[in-house]
Amino acid sequence: MKILVINAGSSSIKYQLMDLEDAHNYTVLASGLVEKIGESTGRVIHRKNMSAVEEKVVEEAPIPDHRKGMARVVALLTDPVKGVISDAREIEGVGHRVLSCGEVYSDTVRVTPEVKASIRDFFPLGPLHNPPNLVGIEVAEELFPHAPQVAVFDTAFHQTMPRKAYLYAVPYEWYKDYRLRRYGFHGTSHKYIAQETANYLGKPLDQTNLISLHLGNGCSMSAIRNGKCVDTSMGVTPLEGLVMGTRSGDIDPAALQYIMGQTGMDIQQMTDALNKKSGLKGLCGGNDMREVVEAAANGSNRAQTALDIFAYRIQKYIGAYMAVLPRVDALTFTAGIGENSAPAREHICRGLEHLGIRLDLEKNNSPSRQPREIQQDGAPLKLLILPTNEELQIALETKDIILSTPT
């Protein structure tokens, strides 16, 4: 089944076309990115993966809106030379990454008018993501009227959290009237990693306990008991929790009032600073972990401090999640930093031997990109590196919905 996966941002569209049988039998036919939508000059990067050597096309031209961007994607996918299909009707389903619908949906759903209304209803809680997500759906409905549209929510996997984990200790009316609670994000990645960890360990998912560490420019962790999320680090927005590339993570709310009073910043400026100018970038000026590690190795005190704070925050969440899980079968590292930064993993694991976390430095420094274990021989807790694949997870769930809910 040919599934098109779409992740529509405010000024971009990421896409991937898969020919999918199951999680272990699939082909990525093409992938790409449409960016700078609405700016004077837009750009399309399209990759055709049908041959042994990847073919890449880069185009620069004005892209006034998402519809024009998606129309260009369809033209590239069906181009006699650059494309991989002869007609858009070969696409049998479209899976959309959608940020949030709160408590309305706890699983993937086929898009209906009611689903679109719910996505719109959550614009206030996802102002940067839900509006373009909905635009992506509406454009895809126009361009692929024959294909079922499926919404895969980034928050859905975390809907199994108990109330004690998702409620904030604030006036209850804020939750009841304004839906203020911890929702969590990166759910598609955490769900995929939970299943991959169970597969790697040779255990049924419903008997697998793990702590998943999705560490990239955005970072989050989840405590997963018997295959289901019981706690996660992000909150009502993706700002809460770990130190990230440009996001602050946990901070005393009263500090914001203080800084606003000192600087004259308004709430929008403060929110922008916490999301785009904080985290590693705020601490040492750079948000690329490779550059932070290199700068620390070259004697930068600020870079070393940033690395220390990044790792320490993760260590605290590891301790918290080990406290709420009856046992931990594995700590699983994934995403850009989790999969690729041996120094970051070493810094995170350092000093946690009393928790059974015993890193093998040689295994950790191995350049392999394959799923693997990096704990010392005989260590009581497995440390895994497993590549995430959110696009595959979205495609799998899209196929499942199409087959289980025929029109």
CB atoms within 10 A of CB 233: 26
Please pick, among 154, 250, 272, 377, the residue that the annotation labels catalytic.
154
Cα–Cα dist 98/104, whole Å: 13
First-to-last C-alpha distance (Å) of the chain: 16
Instruction: Report the distance separating Cα 352 and Cα 322, nearest Å.
Output: 12
* Residue 210 burial (CB count, 10 A): 26
Cα separation, 385 vs 341, whole angstroms: 11
Name the percent of the chain in helix, strand, coil, to the closest 5: 40, 20, 35
Active site residue 154: yes
Which among 308, 296, 303, 386 has a CA at the least distance from the CA of 340? Answer: 386
Q: Give the max Cα distance, the chain.
A: 62
SS3 212: strand
- Rounded CA-CA distance 102/391 in Å is 21
CA of 277: how far to CAs of 40, 273, 295, 296, 300, in Å?
Answer: 25, 5, 19, 20, 19
Type of residue at 35: E
Residues β-bridged to residue 48: 30, 55
How far is CA 255 from its chain centroid?
Answer: 28
**What's the number of CA atoms in the CB half-sphere (13 Å) around residue 247?**
19
- Active-site residue set: 154
